[in-house]
């Protein structure tokens, strides 16, 4: 990916374009054989631009604008038949070498960044894409955002020409607030992103919006952190004239907005930035809701309810970007939240919370599927649809459903979770998947029937992923109960429950309860349950899982598990448990009942509670033992650790304040463990 480095000014001279006759002659001499070739590539620097003050414009002193390649960048290169090939580089720098396959012996076209859907026609017009969503990179345009092209021959340095213009903005160092987003739009609704074309035989390389395809009238930058004062941030946009000017909207950490309107005619030219420097935003207010490219940008609580009603009314794929935080208790209209999506008509879009907060969400009724979402996932036959809920914080929710399924009907269950009741329901085998990622729930009360979890009630999809989620609160239910998921077929990765209570509220059923999941039929990787109380009058309870029918790797539990068959990690296990340990009050230190004869299914698993048997039934310990100190050996690590990066989360009171430290030097894969090898002092046992 290319990035912009504000260093000394430099300007490369572009190569002279071939005539159409020369190009036709060159193409006629191609061998037609694919072979590996290398290309040296350099880039044009940014030209001097204009600075916008409050009213007038002026020529600014140039700070420099050299454009550099990044290691692992990828170019698109067209063959003589117009087929697209990718050329890659292992190095970065002003000039670097790209390697790939091509059959053209003479002149050929190149473009950046690589886009597998890009095309070229017989007239030398390249079609590619300019994104409306542009990540805010301090001091640069976003990685891969600088559209550029080149015509080249083997053995020559390919000079890439920028084909877009730029608008750059900086926030004054005197401003004390936090800005998390920017929106750029023309005052006449000009087209700013979408499919673009570049005429490679023109005297000027220039990206032009294809108005026959869907376009975007807004460019959006958002970050989970904040924009840094005194740094320039660059929008990449097609060169054009804004007759009535443009508007730049600032979004603060609460999702409120302030607009800077420039109402004079201004022309943006190729490869030349227009600057607005040292802005000090004014008073922030709620923004305006809008829908664009099948995405509802929610700035108000009214907009959130409207999006939900539209989805439940039949627009099942309508995406949502949550642009502000809301408190449902402050809704002057006293509306009740209806879960989004049902088992028959699940939500099939993408919901991005952008790190915003939803407070005091209340769901209460006889819902089969209850939560912010009732049901997620594509219906049968539409498994290609990408369904995802991400990056939202829900604080002090109360999710309750009185629905309990008919005991004589196996397809009639209750599903309750704060984020969603259910994912990917289908009859028979289901290998489709949806994603819940980076969702945090605190101070929660979750109550329901058969499948109840702090994040999700039930996952049916073998390809489902629940990742980087946290839960703190109380879960109550009748059958499958978990701090993260009640019952899971997919993967739970880097998820954590803390200060959580998981309890049975209906004694008619054989309950399976766990600090992470009630029953695991998939994979639980690098997750932890901290200061959890898992208790049931039923059969199985575990610090991580009540029942494990899948794989548990790299997990840690601290707290209490109370049941007839309870274990620090799991109550029972048909599947593998590796590189995991527990400091739990339970009937067994690691797992109460093992239901497999495969000894290798259990490696590097420990209890740190002195005097507590790691496993009760059968009596053979299957590589599980008590350890006053834990030393994970290299051969064990290399066999059991999954290459899943662990993301540290601050969880108060975790592991009862124990100090964890290295006991021996181990290899680099130790970084994938959730907790380092530990030393437990006597008074902690």
Residue 437: both structure tokens together: 């990622």
Cα separation, 364 vs 99, in Å, equals: 60
Q: Is the pLDDT of residue 2 over 50?
A: no
Q: What is the pLDDT of residue 390?
A: 96
Residue 283: both structure tokens together: 């008073």
> For the stretch 357-372, what's the b/e string if a residue is b when 16 or more beta carbons lie within 10 angstroms of its beta carbon?
bbbbbebeeebbbbbb
Contacts with 665 (C-beta within 8 Å, 6 or more apart), sequence order: none
Q: Is the pLDDT of residue 256 over 80?
A: yes
Asked if residue 534 lies in contact with residue 562, where contact means CB atoms within 8 angstroms, the answer is yes
How large a percentage of the chain has pLDDT more than 90? 50
What is the DSSP secondary structure assignment for residue 610, as one 8-state letter? T
Largest CA distance in the chain: 88
Residue 113: both structure tokens together: 């960044």
Q: For the residues 464-489, what does the mean pLDDT come to?
A: 95
The region of weakest confidence among 80-89, 95-104, 339-348, 529-538 is: 95-104
Residue 36: both structure tokens together: 């590996």
SS3 at position 683: helix
Q: For the residues 500-525, what does the mean pLDDT come to?
A: 90
Contacts with 614 (C-beta within 8 Å, 6 or more apart), sequence order: 588, 589, 590, 591, 605, 606, 607, 621, 624, 625, 626
How large a percentage of the chain has pLDDT more than 70? 76
Q: What is the pLDDT of residue 304?
A: 98
DSSP H helical ranges for 250-291: none
- Beta strand 148-152 with 108-112: parallel, antiparallel or unpaired? antiparallel
Cα separation, 419 vs 438, in Å, equals: 11
Among candidate residues 321, 329, 172, 349, the one with its CA nearest the CA of residue 255: 321
What is the rounded (10 degree) CA torsion for 369, 453, 578, 584? -160
Q: For the residues 322-335, what does the mean pLDDT come to?
A: 91
Cα separation, 148 vs 130, in Å, equals: 11
Q: What is the pLDDT of residue 141?
A: 82
Query: Sorting pLDDT into bands at 50, 70 and 90, what band is 33?
Result: low
C-alpha 160 chain-centroid distance: 32
Q: Is the pLDDT of residue 58 over 60?
A: no
For the entire predicted model, the pTM comes to 0.74
Q: What is the pLDDT of residue 642?
A: 31
C-alpha 297 chain-centroid distance: 18
Q: What is the mean pLDDT of the chain?
A: 79
Asked if residue 112 lies in contact with residue 163, where contact means CB atoms within 8 angstroms, the answer is no
Cα separation, 474 vs 442, in Å, equals: 10
Asked if residue 249 lies in contact with residue 259, where contact means CB atoms within 8 angstroms, the answer is yes
Cα separation, 542 vs 548, in Å, equals: 9
Query: Sorting pLDDT into bands at 50, 70 and 90, what band is 15?
Result: very low
List Cα–Cα distances, 648 to 49, 495, 635, in angstroms: 43, 10, 25
The radius of gyration computed from the CA coordinates of the chain, to the nearest angstrom, equals: 29
Query: Sorting pLDDT into bands at 50, 70 and 90, what band is 386?
Result: confident
Position with higher pLDDT, 169 vs 36? 169
What is the DSSP secondary structure assignment for residue 462, as one 8-state letter? T
Query: Sorting pLDDT into bands at 50, 70 and 90, what band is 277?
Result: very high
Asked if residue 556 lies in contact with residue 537, where contact means CB atoms within 8 angstroms, the answer is no
Asked if residue 385 lies in contact with residue 348, where contact means CB atoms within 8 angstroms, the answer is yes
Residue limits of CATH 2.160.20 in the chain: 290-605
Position with higher pLDDT, 331 vs 422? 422
Position with higher pLDDT, 684 vs 66? 66
For 384, phi and psi rounded to 5 degrees? -75, -15
Q: Is the pLDDT of residue 47 over 60?
A: no
Q: For the residues 147-169, what does the mean pLDDT come to?
A: 87
What fold is seen in the domain 290-605? Pectate Lyase C-like (2.160.20)
Q: For the residues 13-31, what does the mean pLDDT come to?
A: 31
What is the DSSP secondary structure assignment for residue 139, as one 8-state letter? T
Q: Is the pLDDT of residue 334 over 70?
A: yes
The dihedral through the CA atoms of 431, 434, 438, 441 has a sign that is: negative
Residue 656 φ/ψ region, left for φ over 0, alpha for ψ in the -120 to 50 degree band, beta for the rest: left
- Beta strand 50-52 with 57-59: parallel, antiparallel or unpaired? antiparallel
Cα separation, 593 vs 585, in Å, equals: 16
Query: Sorting pLDDT into bands at 50, 70 and 90, what band is 48?
Result: low
Termini Cα distance of the chain: 52
For 89, phi and psi rounded to 5 degrees? -130, 145
Contacts with 109 (C-beta within 8 Å, 6 or more apart), sequence order: 77, 78, 120, 124, 126, 149, 150, 151, 200
C-alpha 617 chain-centroid distance: 41
Among candidate residues 336, 182, 156, the one with its CA nearest the CA of residue 258: 182
Give the side-chain half-sphere CA count within 13 A for 305: 13
SS3 at position 14: coil
Contacts with 122 (C-beta within 8 Å, 6 or more apart), sequence order: 82
Q: What is the pLDDT of residue 61?
A: 23
Angle, alpha carbons 366-372-378 (nearest 5°): 95
Q: How many residues does the chain have?
A: 685
List Cα–Cα distances, 667 to 459, 632, 635, 636, 637, in angstroms: 35, 10, 10, 11, 8
Count other C-beta atoms under 10 Å from residue 666's C-beta: 19
Cα separation, 40 vs 375, in Å, equals: 52
E strands in 294-335: 295-298, 319-322, 326-327
Asked if residue 624 lies in contact with residue 602, where contact means CB atoms within 8 angstroms, the answer is yes
Residue with tokens 């109370």: 562
Peptide bond connecting 670 to the previous residue in cis, omega within 30 degrees of 0: no
Give the DSSP H/E element, type plus range, for residue 264.
none
- Which of the listed ranges 29-33, 463-467, 639-643 does the model predict with the highest average pLDDT? 463-467
């Amino acid at each position: 990916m290319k990035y912009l480095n504000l260093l000394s000014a430099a300007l490369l001279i572009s190569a002279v374009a071939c005539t159409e006759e020369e190009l036709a002659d060159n193409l006629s001499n191609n061998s037609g054989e694919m072979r590996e070739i290398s290309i040296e590539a350099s880039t044009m620097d940014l030209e001097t631009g204009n600075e916008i003050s409050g009213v007038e414009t002026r020529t600014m002193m140039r700070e420099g604008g050299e454009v550099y390649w990044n290691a692992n960048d990828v170019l698109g290169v067209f063959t003589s038949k117009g087929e697209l090939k990718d050329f890659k580089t292992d190095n970065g720098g002003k000039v670097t070498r790209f390697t790939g396959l091509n059959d053209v012996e003479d002149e050929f076209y190149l473009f950046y960044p690589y886009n597998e859907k890009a095309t070229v026609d017989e007239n030398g017009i390249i079609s590619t894409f300019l994104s409306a969503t542009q990540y805010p990179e301090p001091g640069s345009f976003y990685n891969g955002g600088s559209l550029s092209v080149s015509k080249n021959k083997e053995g020559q340095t390919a000079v890439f020409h920028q084909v877009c213009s730029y608008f750059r903005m900086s926030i004054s160092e005197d401003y004390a607030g936090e800005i998390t987003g920017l929106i750029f739009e023309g005052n006449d609704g000009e087209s700013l992103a979408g499919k673009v074309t570049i005429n490679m035989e023109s005297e000027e390389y220039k990206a032009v919006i294809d108005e026959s395809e869907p376009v975007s009238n807004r460019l959006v930058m958002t970050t989970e952190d904040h924009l840094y004062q005194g740094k320039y941030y660059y929008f990449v946009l097609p060169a054009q004239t804004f007759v009535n000017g443009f508007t730049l909207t600032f979004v603060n950490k609460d999702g409120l907005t302030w607009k800077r309107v420039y109402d004079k005619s201004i022309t943006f030219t190729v490869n030349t930035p227009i600057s607005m420097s040292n802005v000090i935003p004014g008073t922030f207010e709620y923004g305006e809701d809008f829908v664009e490219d099948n995405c509802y940008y929610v700035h108000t609580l009214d907009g959130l309810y409207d999006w939900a009603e539209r989805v439940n009314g039949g627009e099942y794929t309508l995406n949502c970007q949550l642009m502000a935080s809301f408190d449902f208790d402050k809704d002057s209209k006293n509306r009740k939240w209806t879960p989004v999506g049902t088992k028959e008509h699940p939500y099939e879009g993408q919901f991005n919370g952008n790190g915003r907060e939803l407070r005091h969400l209340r769901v209460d009724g006889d819902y089969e599927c209850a939560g912010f979402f009732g049901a997620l996932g594509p219906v049968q036959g539409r498994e290609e649809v990408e369904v995802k809920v991400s990056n939202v914080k829900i604080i002090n929710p109360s999710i309750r459903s009185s629905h309990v399924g008919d005991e004589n009907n196996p397809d009639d269950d209750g599903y309750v979770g704060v984020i969603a009741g259910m994912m990917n329901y289908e009859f028979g085998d289901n290998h489709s998947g949806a994603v819940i990622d980076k969702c945090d729930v605190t101070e929660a009360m979750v109550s329901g029937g058969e499948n109840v979890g702090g994040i999700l009630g039930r996952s049916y999809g073998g390809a489902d992923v629940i990742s980087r989620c946290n839960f703190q609160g109380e879960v109550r239910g009748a059958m499958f109960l978990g701090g993260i998921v009640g019952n899971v077929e997919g993967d739970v990765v880097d998820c954590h429950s803390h200060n959580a209570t998981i309890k049975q509220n209906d004694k008619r059923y054989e309950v399976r309860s766990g600090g992470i999941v009630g029953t695991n039929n998939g994979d639980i990787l690098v997750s932890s349950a901290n200061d959890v109380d898992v208790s049931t009058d039923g059969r199985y309870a575990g610090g991580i899982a009540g029942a494990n029918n899948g794989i548990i790797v790299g997990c840690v539990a601290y707290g209490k598990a109370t049941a007839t068959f309870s274990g620090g990690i799991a109550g029972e296990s048909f599947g593998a448990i590796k590189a995991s340990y527990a400091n739990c009050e339970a009937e067994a230190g690691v797992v109460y009942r093992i239901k497999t004869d495969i000894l290798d299914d259990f490696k590097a698993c420990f209890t740190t509670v002195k005097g507590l048997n790691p496993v009760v039934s059968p009596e053979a310990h299957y590589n599980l033992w008590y350890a006053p100190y834990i030393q994970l050996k290299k051969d064990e690590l290399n066999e059991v650790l999954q290459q899943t990066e662990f993301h540290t989360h601050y969880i108060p009171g975790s592991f009862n304040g124990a100090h964890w430290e290295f006991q021996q030097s181990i290899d680099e894969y130790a970084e994938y463990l959730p907790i380092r090898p530990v030393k437990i002092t006597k008074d902690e046992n």
